[in-house]
Amino acid sequence: MIKIAIDGPSGSGKSTLAKSLSAKLGFTYVDTGALYRSIALYMLENKIDLTDAGKISAALADISISLDYAADGTQHVYVNGTDVTAKIRSSEVSMAASRVSAFPVVRDFLLDTQRNIAKKSNVIMDGRDIGTVIFPDADVKIFLTAGNNSRAERRYAELIAKGENVTFEKVLTDITKRDHDDSSRAVAPAVAAPDAILIDNSDFTPEMTFAKALEIIESKIRLK
């Protein structure tokens, strides 16, 4: 099975790129960030202290996460049988996901879920530690990034389109903080794998990012 890892910070366009590539190549798309967001949502809704490792660990015993895919390939995430796909995209859940992902017990909880999917089909998986932790043996590793303002503008537009009442300044602050939290955490920091290929798409359209990534993938897979 072929494994393609796409890592990068929030707002870099990882999900958009991964979805487009999976549709083009016929691979299974896995949004790992959605898994962490789902856990964060459960903790928030059940008022679990996000700083208490013991309480978070205990709560994981009550969580069952599963993935399903619509006819168009869209990933849906279920927590204890309930589709939470739409609910996990808020700014509050995003920030909470960054906090819970710093706990080793949470990462261990999801590790097998992510790896087992790749045993059954070719996958394109996006996240922050796919090429460094989840699939260090990935056939292709891409680290997608962009400037802070570019990423904040994209995230702001996405949230406004969903009806959220946010300001650009707040989105930029959140992105900057999440970058720091994700890249400096002791466990599985969000950094590029040594053998990842960097794509800075600050000035790219989604189509340009897609074309560049597809060129990289085809050249890498062709070499194997």
Q: pLDDT value at position 75?
A: 83
Neighbours of 130 (CB within 10 A): 30
- Looking at residue 140, what DSSP letter applies? E
For the cut 70, the answer to whether the pLDDT of residue 224 exceeds it is no
For the cut 60, the answer to whether the pLDDT of residue 223 exceeds it is no
Task: Please identify which residue in the block is written with the tokens 């530690």.
Answer: 129
Of 77, 69, 79, give the one whose Cα is nearest residue 29.
69
Instruction: Give the DSSP H/E element, type plus range, for residue 197.
Output: strand 197-200
> Domain total for the chain?
1
Q: pLDDT value at position 113?
A: 81
Q: Provide φ and ψ at 139, rounded to 5°.
A: -70, -35
| Domain of 218, in residue numbers | 3-223
pLDDT > 70 in the chain, percent: 99
pTM comes to 0.76
Burial of 145-177, coded b for 16+ CB within 10 Å and e otherwise, reads: bbeeebbbbbbbeebeeeeeeeeeeebbebbee
pLDDT digits (tens, 9 = 90+) for 23-38: 899 898 888 889 999 9
Q: pLDDT value at position 118?
A: 85
Tokens of 157: 């537009």
Q: Identify the CATH number of the domain in which residue 90 sits.
A: 3.40.50.300
Neighbours of 136 (CB within 10 A): 13
pLDDT digits (tens, 9 = 90+) for 152-177: 999 899 889 988 889 999 999 999 98
d(CA 98, CA 136): 21
Q: What is the largest CA-CA distance in the chain?
A: 50
Q: pLDDT value at position 72?
A: 74
pLDDT digits (tens, 9 = 90+) for 95-117: 899 899 889 999 899 988 888 88
In the three-class reduction of DSSP (H, G, I as helix; E, B as strand; rest coil), residue 99 is classed as: helix
Q: pLDDT value at position 15?
A: 87
Tokens of 15: 């999900």
Of 151, 155, 15, give the one whose Cα is nearest residue 90.
155
User: How far out from the chain centre does Cα 159 lie?
Assistant: 17
Q: How much is the average pLDDT of 194-211?
A: 95
Q: Where are the alpha helices (DSSP H) in the chain?
A: 14-25, 32-45, 53-60, 91-100, 104-120, 148-161, 168-184, 206-223
Q: pLDDT value at position 87?
A: 94
pLDDT digits (tens, 9 = 90+) for 40-65: 999 999 999 999 999 999 999 999 99
Mean per-residue pLDDT of the chain: 90
Tokens of 17: 């790129």
Lowest model confidence (mean pLDDT) among 15-29, 46-60, 185-199: 185-199
pLDDT digits (tens, 9 = 90+) for 73-87: 778 999 999 999 999
